[in-house]
Structure formats: structure tokens, C-alpha cells
Structure 1
Amino acid sequence: MKIKSKWFVLMLFALLISSCAEEKEEQQKETAQFKVPVEYYKLDNGLKVILSKDTTSPTAIVAVYYNIGFRIEPKDRTGFAHLFEHMMFQGSQNLGKMEFIKLIQQNGGVLNGSTRFDFTNYFEIVPSHKLETMLWAEADRMRGLDITQENLTNQQGVVKNEVKVNVLNQPYGGFPWLDMPQYANTNWYNAHNFYGDLEDLDAANLEDVQSFFKTYYAPNNAAISVVGDFDIDEAKTWINKYFSNIPSAEIPEQPDISEPKQVEQKEFVKNDSLANKPAIALAYHMPERNTEEYYAMGLLDQILVQGDNSLLAQKLEKDKGYSSDVGGGINYLGNMFNYKGPMIWMYDFTYDNETSREEILSAIDEVMTNLKENITQKTVDQALVKLRSQLYDDIGGTFGLGRADLLCSFALFDDNPERINTLEDEFKKITPDIVKKTIDEYLINTNRTILTVNPLLADNEKTQSK
């Protein structure tokens, strides 16, 4: 009996150890597979609502995204979507001019807005106990803007000055973020000057603004996310109280924004009277969103241009010494997740006057020609580690603003904000063979556009020195 008793005790001890090991392994899996809490529903008027609780800090973010970006703004009204973004801060039914901004700042918060390819967004980051106030304020301007000729004229001047400062009077102004889409794309909706031609900005009238607001700034064309330290049931009550009685609108059918396949390499030169050395940008049309090639391009972006160990940075900066500022990515006005229509992957850099364009392209072609040979499982795994780090930096950054951005984007574009929790798994499915297939289909010269900046200031300096 003593022998059996000892055997039983040993078996029990072994089972306990095994159970503890399994429990520890499960805890490690849970830690590794961090999930963003997502509660998603819609109001009767069509407003998409996403709630995501995070008690890391006593703050709350309110982000409102409207499903209208500069990609589908009216023809002959370039820059109109951006102009309208400015109009949203000029007053609403209960808040006069600049009072919206004062309300947030006086309550210890920060705010901003932006216009992108496929959406216009507004957000506030405030102490948690001011969440209800922010929801009321956002609902107030969704319900109705103070659209006056005075406000419109004022903001036309503001936006025109912004164009002059950021583009027209700036060395490398608009390069390549504004320029390249106009050269690489052929469909007007993807290829027009979305910052706005000055004549088009002047041509905008009060009727345009009223029609644009009524058409696109309706609850059934919007998503709101609340991220931070708040009570879910309380937030639902406030959102229903302030937003549910805003009427929906008839949203027009979107125009065709598809981009025809590029079949030959395009090359352009931009003269820049303010630049003192040449610059170059190269762009490739992206695969369709959410395909395996799309995710493979995300990994190739990491392999080719992200970080000091990327292949192009190694070649152009470390090996050749041609540049010190190689950078790029998918979607220069956001990230690879927060757009809906056609997109380009692009990189750019400046280089010395003594270096020829031919030398630059020769070094680039050397990297691209040998790219497939560098694609191994180890390369893909390393790219995944870099991408995962960047993704979670974005999700957690600025008190969770990156999280609010993805939640609203996925709600607008896919009707599925839960996608935020599947991104890593999608990248993990990508094999070296899929990456190589993507290289063969997309990273080819016939899918490439090259834009070079010709530095006229450098030419003038050479002439003067002679």
C-alpha cells in the first residue's frame, strides 16, 4: 500500500505540474494575442458606433469620420473637401465661431481634423469626465453648421494661404505626396490636385457648401468611435440622446474610382525653383485591399524601405552613400489600413548634385532585380516583427487615437471594425511564395512611375558662382 500511495502522489504531482504549465502557456498566448475590445452597433438613422474601453489613462477620445474624402470631391472644385473641413470649425447651431475649439481647450483637451483620400475626420482627446460634453458638441455640428458667406470667404483665404505656404512657396512643396498621385494615376478622381487649385477654391460658393453638407455630413454617412476610460452603458445613453434624432440623408452613388492597369513605365520631371538638390520618388500601384498580395506588399514595404536595415536604405545610404533620407510607405496621408480606393506604394529621397539620376536608378534596379533572392521565411518573419511593432505603436499611440482611426475606417469601409483584431493573423498567412508572386505581379517596371525633381536653385547657384 505504501508503494501504491507513493505512486499516486507522484502521479498527482505530475498532473499538477502539467496543469500549471498548460495554464501558463494559455496565459502567454492570451498576452501575445492582445485584442482590442470592440462593441459595434448602428443607430436607426444609420450612424455607425464603435466603443472601445481602455483604462490605461483617465482620458477619452471621440472620433467622427465622414465617408467623404478629396478623392470624390466635385469636379471643378478641387480642394473642396479640404475647404469644407475648415468650415466645420466655424460654428454650429449652439456654438458660435471658434467656440467649438474653445470648448475643448478650456476643458483640458486637444482636437484636430483632416481630409484624406476616402474620409474626413474630426477628433477630440479630453479628460474622461468631459466625454458627454464632446458628444454633444460633435452632434451639434453634425445637426447643422453655421454656413455664412463671411465664414466661407474667410476660410477660402485660410486654405489658399495654406496651399501657398505648404506647396507653392516651399522647396519640394507637394513632393511627392501631392504630386505623385497626379502622375501615377489616370482616373481624375485619383489623379487631381486634392489640395486645390487657387481658381477652384475661389469658385466655391455658398450653395456648394450647403449642398455638400446636406449630402455627405449625414449620420448614415458617418462613423463615431469612443476610445478610453468610460462607462459603456453611459456612453450608449449619451450617443442615443444626442445623435439618434439627427435625420439621415440620401447618399448619392459613388463615382467609379477604379484605376486601369498600368502597362508601361512612366517618367516625369518637376522643375523646382526653390530646391537646391535633386530628389526622386518611385511609385507602384498597390494590389486590391484585403487580398493576400495586399498583405504581402505590407511586408515588402518593411523589407524594402522601413528602418535602417531595409534593403533600399542599406544600398542607397550605407553602401553607395547617395542619400541619407530614404523613406516611404503605403498611403503617404495615413497608413496601409485607412483608405478604400486605389493606392500606390512609394518611396522617395534627395541626393547630391554630383550623383546622376542614372546612378540612382542603377542602384535601385540592383536591389529590385535581386529582391526575390532575399525572400526567405526568415526575411518574412523579420518583416512581420517590424510590422507588428509598428501596428501596435499605431494602435496605442496618442492615447489610443490610432485605435480610434482604425475602428472608424474599418466601420466605414468594411462595416467591420472587428478587423482590427485580425490584421496580425492575415499577415501571418503570407508565405515567401506569396511574397515572390507579389513581386512578379506588382514590383515590376511596367507598374512603376518615376518622378524626379530638377533643382533650379542649384542650377542658379552654379551659374552665380561662375
Structure 2
Amino acid sequence: MIRPRPLRAALLAASALALLTAFPGAVRAQDAAMVVPPLQYTHRELSNGLDVYAMPDPTAGTVTVQVWYDVGGKDDPEGRSGFAHLFEHILSRKTVNIPYGQISTWVENAGGSRNASTGQDFTNYYETVPPEYLETMLWTHAERMARPVVDQAVFEAERSIVKEELRQRVYAPPYGRLGVFVIGDNSFDESIYRRSVIGSIEQLDAATIDDARAFHEAYYRPATATLIVSGNFDPAQLDRWVDQYFAGIPNPERPVPVFQRPTAAPRTQPRDVVSYAPNVPLPAVGRIWPGVEATHPDAAALDVLQGILSRGQNSRLYQRLVYVDQVATSASFGANTMEEDGVVSGTVIVAQGKSLEQAEASYDAVIAEIRTNPVTQAELDEAKVEIISSELRQRETASGRAFILGQALVSEGDANAPDARLAAIQAVTVDDVLRVARTYLRDDAVVRVRYLDESQRPEGVPEDSWRNPAPVPTFVSVPPAILPPNELLPEGRRMAPPAPGAARVAATPAVAERTLPNGLRVIVAKSTDLPIMNAQLIIGGGASGDPEGRMGLASATAALAREGAGGRTAPQIAASLESLGASIGAGANPDVTTVSLSAPVASLDRATPIFADVVLRPDFPAAELERLRTRSLNGLRVALRDPATLAAATLNRVVFAGAPYGAPSSGTAESLSAMTRDDVAAHHARWWRPDNAALVITGGMDPEAAFAFAEAAFGDWARPAAALPVIGDRAGQATAPRVLVVDMPGAGQAAVAVAVRGPDRSDADWYPASVANAVIGGGSGGHLFNEVRAKRGLSYGAYSSLVTRVDGSLFAAQTQTKNESAAEVVELVLSEVDRLTGEAMTDQAATDRESFVLGGFSRSIETTGGLGGFIGDTVALGLPLSELQTYPERMRAVDPAAVSSVAGRWLGRERAYVVVVGDAAQFLEPLRAAHPDLVVIKAEDVDLNAADLGIE
């Protein structure tokens, strides 16, 4: 056993004392050294009612600008469910001075990112950009607040996109309808939260542009908005810009419509709901109880109760349903609090071969037990530590802190609520947990849900059998708009956005490296002053080393390593880690296996021996292999009924055929069934060795402390005498391009996946190839997004990526669309794969796309995990560690000629592999007209074991 070093313990204590001294309001966990610094902000209110919160952080490499409006799904007008969400899309697009889609273009060209979201209580719009673009972002938010353009073109385009979003998120996934419709509709009875935020196709179709204009005038104004700026900026300059751009925006004279809240009688009788949907591979069970609003005194105890029941592998539901009884592939429990109400719910995906009744009995037994007997002090402490540890991670970036603050303001109306919540959680007692379990998890108030495949629907049972029988309230009708609609000004009359200011360059973290005597590389980069750390052990080989007939072996070995090691059982490992606020993850991709430790620095001395045992001394118990096999088979059964997942797996096989990269890393039903413990132990002995590994440590540790941790964990890891194993050609020879259709009748959407082989990471072509990929499908500024979503509304999103591996890379494009437009979308994607081969690129376009790529890089290395991931990738791909510093300059050096040259060598539709998964009856005829040689295979006949997918 590794004992805490006195010096190390002293360092931890000093670190905790420094944090408490610097932040008097800091929250300290049970572990004296695990301290959460409080949110730091200033607040002022403009005369028009706009609230402004500033959260300066001069060490940040970015600045985040967010506007939260006090309008959400609960404010949707009568007969217009989903309208707040639809308007979120509309307001992001066009103003008097900004053409359609230009905001996204400006943000991406600046190297930033932007998005928006809608909840029941709020709609928010946010960007994260380099600090010099702060004024530009403030101006765009003022434009949207004061001068939006809501015209027919914008309205029609965004409504079409929202409908595709609904299909993608709700209709296509096997359990999408369960969460959004079935559980959603039955979570509340006569309540302002009764309707789903995303709405319905029918009510979206019924909406008009007049509705949109009326909605804007009713709810969007300075007095319903909160501006949050967080990151690297000058607070005094921010005040001047806020006054300049926002202070003159008037509030409408008409009051905000107020919906008379219905008085709902408490539920006193249980209700049973049975629902059916297409492509449900395994039945599911749900439980729903009434909850509480975010400001309720019981909210903290319910949060702790949620942790005890459902957070991590040591939780009661996982242990009982997934681990011991093995009646479920997953089991959840959550307490969702909102501004005016809340809901407590749980779901179970039933394991193959188990009955609904078995799953229900196990779930209900866990709930009955926690209502009857007090939880243990250890369970209580563990839940609190997990919550504190999670909060530390969320507060790591300026953007993360802004979101915490914004959510608290809209749900609780109190900027101090996040810190008060942590203090309240620390005060929760064993008696509190028992009390809230008895108060809220009542049998007389529960809704019991069963979710089954459409094939099991009895004759005569209607499609909407899941609907809540309680009457839906009559919602407010918004008065008509009275202001004349805005129009985009002619180009010569538009106000130009503010020019960027002086750049504030953030320093790239310094990297230190040592090699232990056993050959293990240790790489350290300090990335934060918060007391958290990440360690990633990168082991060469990965799934490409899986033997014939044993696909998924590398992944299984990684997964099993933490399910029993050093004499500790899987439950003991889970309990020990979760009590420390730590976690160990493990998995394999085609090139490497990764075992990672994430922990508060205060917990490291106790987490280190467990991490070392998982890597060096896994027991690989036979019983755990059987559990893993069962869970994996159930997981495959679910995943391969999702069109997008099946399309990706099939495309991988089409591109790489029988080469190592062609085999699915997670295995197949056949390979998992054949796998033995001896296979797993042999794989571990062959590949898991110090001279085939590198340990990457990031977070709040100084290099010397990190190197000491590495030595303590892996200094005694013996290097085998045998030579390192070698994998041959992982990618194999390129096969002939083809178009393959996978027929999945009843699929809620069609998934389209297209790929073209690309250059090696070490090839000079890789950097221009990365820029070419950004042009084709990088973010909302990519051609794919513009052609498929923005211009035609055929998808919620269309993107591409440059998937880089040890042997080569892959231009991979993916999107989803309604089945009837699949053929059109395939042609659009292929046209973009072709476009750069014959279209010249301007210097400005190259610069813009390079900024987009580099912005993603900069944001990723702001986080402990992101920095570790980038360094880990350089190790896996055999690149020098100097790549962290040279990557930006090499990307900036790419010119349009290099992009065109790379496109000519690598791209073109004649090199493309195409897979479409969906209801083929709705798109096969037009697709075949364009591609007469396409091949069709039924979804149930796809054989991922075979190089040819089992196609005769």
C-alpha cells in the first residue's frame, strides 16, 4: 500500500488554506482539502431593466457573452407548444444590420463558438470568443434584442429545421419518445410545465409568422433579459460598451403577458401508462413522482438522494438492478427542479431475456428500501463528495462559471444560489434523506410507465395511449404585434460591427517530461489553479490488435480492469473511488487503450493505489466477464437500432473492409460471446507494459508533485523481456467506393454517412486537409451546414470531421434527415466532397477557416481534460510534444493553393463511400436513379463480423 507522503499532505493542506483565505465564502467538503471557490461577480441594473453580471478572469484565454431571457417553454401560447424554442432559432439568424446566418459566420471566423438553448424557464444565447471580439459580440446581442428581423423566409427555414431537430432527437433514437413524450407528458398534470419544450410537428405546422412577431413583442425586452460576461476583459471597458449598446434600448409599454397559474390538485392515485414505439430493441420501465421547485428547502436533500440512488457504479440502483440482479442495462433516478415546480423520475432499460416484471420489482424494492430505512453515513458522505467534485469541474472555465450563474438566476432568481446550494448540500443529514424519500416517493402519487416495441401493441390500442388523462391547461394567448416588422437594410446602409480590439494572447501551458527507469513516459502540464487533476495512461495497440474472431477484446480488457483489481472487488473499487470524488475510466479506440484517473488533488493519495492496481494488477474475475458480456450485448442491441450509430459502424466496415480498422472496436454479438478470460489476460500481458505506454498528467498539480504521483503509482511496473508487439497495415488497401443502403423500416429519420480516405497525420498534406475539412463541414460555417440546413432546412445539422489515426485519416461527413429527403441530402453531401476539387479558395476564406480550427484548439486546451486529450493524441500518433506550441503556427501557414492541391489529391465523389440507414421505401427509388449500382441490405442482416458485411 502507498502511504501519503508527509510533504504531499502538507502541500494539500497549504493549497486548501490558500483557497479558503483567498475566497472567504468557499465551500469545503468533508475532505478538508476539497474546496470550491465561490462564484465571483459584480452586478448592476440598467435603467431599462437589463441586469448585467461581470465575471472577470484575466487568466482566461477567451471571453463568454451570454444573454438569458426570462421566457421559455412554459410561456408557449395556446396551441403553439414548442414556440419559445422555435423563436430561439429565429432570433439567432437576422437583424436590421446583420444578414441571415452572419452571426455564426463572424463568431466562427473569429475562432469562437456560439449556440442557444431553450428550457421551460428560459431561453439563452451565448458565444465564447477570443477576448478581442467582446465588443463585437455585445453589439450582436444588442442587435438581436432591439432590431431583429422576423420575416417569412427566416420563419419557414427555422420551422423546417426545428422539425428535423425533433425527428433527430425524438423520433430517430429508440428511446427518444419515452423521455420527451411519454415521461414528459406524464410528469405534470395541470401545470404550466405540462407541454414539451420542443413541441409537436402539428403545432409547429400550425404556427404563423404573425405568431412569431407577437411572441417577440410580448416577451423579448431588456427587462426580461440578463447579460453575463465572463472571462478575460476589462470591467470598466465592459461597462462603457454595455451603456453604449444596451442602455438606449427601450422596453415596450405593453406589459409582459401573465399566464394565470392553474391550481393543480395533488396526485393521490397511482397511474399506469403503457406506450409503444417503432424500433424499441429492449423494453423500458419508468417511474414518475411530483417534485419541488429549485428554491424549495428540500431541493438539496433530493439532490443528495439522487446521488445515493443513481450517481456512479456504487449507487443503489446500479448495484441492485445492473450489477446484482442483472435485470437492467441501465437504471436512473433524477430530481429535476425548475423555477416553479419539479419532477422526480427514473427509467430502466430492461436487459435482454429479463421481464418487465423483474425490472419493476427490483426498482420498486430499491425505492421501498430507501423510504423505509436510513441511508448509511458513508453513502451520505459519498454523495456529497461526488457533488462537490463535480462542481469543481464545472467551475474550471469562465464559460462554465457563467452557465452556473445563469441557470441560478433563471431558476432561483439569486446569483448566490449556487454557493448556497453547496452549503445546503453539506448540511443534509441522514434523517433529511429519509424524510424526503418518504415525502416524495409515495406509492399513491406515482406514475408507472411501460415502453414497448410497436409490434407488441394490441389491436385497438391507440397510438397516443401514453397521453396523460389530466386536462391540459388553457395557456395564454399572446396579443397581436403592433410594431411594424423590421427589414434587413440594403448593404450600403447597414451599420458595420465593431472591429476587434487588441489581442489578449493566453500562454500555452508548459509541458515537462521524464521517462521512468521501466520505460514509462511521464508528461506533465499544469492547466489550472483549482485542486483537481487528470491522469491519462495511453497504451499502444488498441482495438487494431484484437485477434481474429475476438473483436472488442481491447475494449473488454480496459473495461474489466476496473471491475476487480489488487484483491478489491468491483463494488469495493466503485465505493472507494466515489467516496473520494474520483473516477477511473477505461476504453480502447482503434489505435490505443486509455485508462484515466480524474480526482480532486486532495483525494490523490488514496486514489493512487486503486489506479495502480487497476493498471498493474487486474483480477479479471470470471463473473465480471459474464456481467460485462451481458451488458455489452444489451448495449449493442440498443445502439444498432439507432440509424446514426448503425450508419457509422457500417461505413467503417465499408471503408476498411477486412483491415484491422474495419473491425468494430466494441465488438459484435458473436465476438463478445466467444471471448474468454484467458483471452483478456493474454491481451493485458501482451500490450499493457510500461515501455508501450505514456502517462499524461494535467490539472492543478505542479510538475514535481505530478512526477511523484507517477513514480508512486507506476515506479514498480516491471518491463517484460519480450519484444514489443507490432501491428501491420491497420488501414489496408483502399477498396472500391460504393453506395450502401441499410433498410430500417419505421426509422424516424434517415442517417447519411459519407467518407473519403485522407493523409497520414505526419504527412505534409494533413494541415491543409484539416482546413479543407473545416471548409466542407466544420461548424455552421461549413458548406454542408449551409447547403443542407441553412438553405434547405433538410436537417438539424450537417458536419464533417477529419478522423485521424496512426495509419491515415478519414474525411467523414454525417447528417440526418427525414426519410423522404435522404436521396437529395446524399447528392448535396457528394457535391460538397467534390466542390473543393474545382473551386478556387480565397485567402480570406482560408484565414477564416484556420481561425475556426484554431479556436476549437484554444478552447479545448482551456480545460484539464481537453489539454490532456490533445497531448494524449500527440503521443498516440507519434508526434513530438512541441506540437502543442507549433500546431497554431503550422495551421496558420496553410494557404489556399495548398488546400486546393490537397483536395485534388484526396477528395472527389469518385472516391467516396456512402451509407444510408433509414426507411428505404421512402427514398430508395430516387437514390437508385442517381446510383444504379447501390446495394440494399436489411438492418437485421448487417454482419459487422464480415469484411463484406454479409452481402452476397
State whether TM-score is above 0.5.
Answer: yes
For 2:274, what is the secondary structure of its paired residue?
A: strand
The 3 A distance-change label for structure 1 pair 157 and 219 is: same
The 3 A distance-change label for structure 1 pair 275 and 167 is: same
Partner of 1:199: 202
For 1:175, what is the secondary structure of its paired residue?
A: helix
CA distance in 2, matches of 1:191, 1:158: 24
CA distance in 1, matches of 2:161, 2:225: 26
Instruction: Encode CA deviations 1:331-383: one digit per residue, 9 max, x unaligned.
Output: 3xxxx5xx312121222231134212221121112212221435133322211
- TM-score scaled by length of structure 1: 0.87
Partner of 2:279: 274
Q: 1:27 aligns with which of 8, 18, 29?
A: 18
The 3 A distance-change label for structure 1 pair 24 and 55 is: closer
The 3 A distance-change label for structure 1 pair 380 and 56 is: farther
Instruction: Encode CA deviations 1:5-62: one digit per residue, 9 max, x unaligned.
Output: xxxxxxxxxxxxxxxxx99985363472512111111111001111112234210101
Partner of 2:42: 39
CA distance in 1, matches of 2:40, 2:262: 33
Query: Does residue 137 in structure 1 map to residue 135 in structure 2?
Result: no
Q: What code does the residue aligned with 2:18 have?
A: Q
For 1:325, what is the secondary structure of its paired residue?
A: strand
Structure possessing the higher relative contact order (Cα contacts under 8 Å, 6 or more residues apart): 1
Contact 1:277–1:458, Cα closer than 8 Å, also in 2: no
CA distance in 1, matches of 2:172, 2:37: 46
Q: What code does the residue aligned with 1:266 have?
A: R
Farther-moved stretch of structure 1 (363-372 vs 145-154): 363-372
Partner of 1:434: 432
Figure out how many residues of one structure are paired with residues of the other and give that number: 433
The offset of 1:408, in angstroms, is 2.1
CA distance in 1, matches of 2:225, 2:15: 43
Farther-moved stretch of structure 1 (81-90 vs 254-263): 254-263
Query: Does residue 370 in structure 1 map to residue 375 in structure 2?
Result: no
CA distance in 2, matches of 1:27, 1:394: 20
Partner of 1:256: 261
- Alignment of structure 1 residues 208-287 onto 2, 5 Å: 208-249=211-252, 250-256=255-261, 259-287=264-292
Query: Does residue 62 in structure 1 map to residue 61 in structure 2?
Result: no
Partner of 1:164: 167
The 3 A distance-change label for structure 1 pair 101 and 255 is: farther
Partner of 1:18: none
Partner of 1:8: none
Instruction: Encode CA deviations 1:113-140: one digit per residue, 9 max, x unaligned.
Output: 1111110111100011111111111111
Question: Tell me, which stretches of 5 or more residues in structure 2 are unaligned?
Answer: 1-12, 24-34, 459-636, 638-939, 941-952
- Alignment of structure 1 residues 110-149 onto 2, 5 Å: 110-149=113-152
The offset of 1:429, in angstroms, is 1.9
The offset of 1:253, in angstroms, is 2.2
The offset of 1:304, in angstroms, is 0.2
Contact 2:73–2:197, Cα closer than 8 Å, also in 1: yes
CA distance in 2, matches of 1:376, 1:170: 38
For 2:128, what is the secondary structure of its paired residue?
A: strand
Farther-moved stretch of structure 1 (404-413 vs 343-352): 404-413
Partner of 2:490: none
The 3 A distance-change label for structure 1 pair 182 and 235 is: same
CA distance in 2, matches of 1:174, 1:390: 29
Which structure has the bigger radius of gyration?
2
Farther-moved stretch of structure 1 (280-289 vs 147-156): 280-289
Contact 1:258–1:342, Cα closer than 8 Å, also in 2: no
Q: What code does the residue aligned with 1:29 have?
A: L
Farther-moved stretch of structure 1 (220-229 vs 377-386): 377-386
The offset of 1:316, in angstroms, is 0.6
The 3 A distance-change label for structure 1 pair 125 and 28 is: closer
CA distance in 2, matches of 1:273, 1:95: 43
CA distance in 1, matches of 2:401, 2:344: 23
Instruction: Encode CA deviations 1:402-440: one digit per residue, 9 max, x unaligned.
Output: 321232233344442122222211112221112211111
Identity value in percent: 25
Partner of 1:417: 415
The offset of 1:245, in angstroms, is 0.8
Instruction: Encode CA deviations 1:278-324: one digit per residue, 9 max, x unaligned.
Output: 01222222134323321100000000011111100100111011223
For 2:20, what is the secondary structure of its paired residue?
A: helix
Q: What code does the residue aligned with 2:324 have?
A: D
- TM-score scaled by length of structure 2: 0.44
The offset of 1:330, in angstroms, is 2.9
For 2:132, what is the secondary structure of its paired residue?
A: helix
CA distance in 1, matches of 2:91, 2:333: 31
Q: Which has the higher helix share?
A: 1
The 3 A distance-change label for structure 1 pair 301 and 25 is: closer
Partner of 1:446: 444
The offset of 1:110, in angstroms, is 0.2
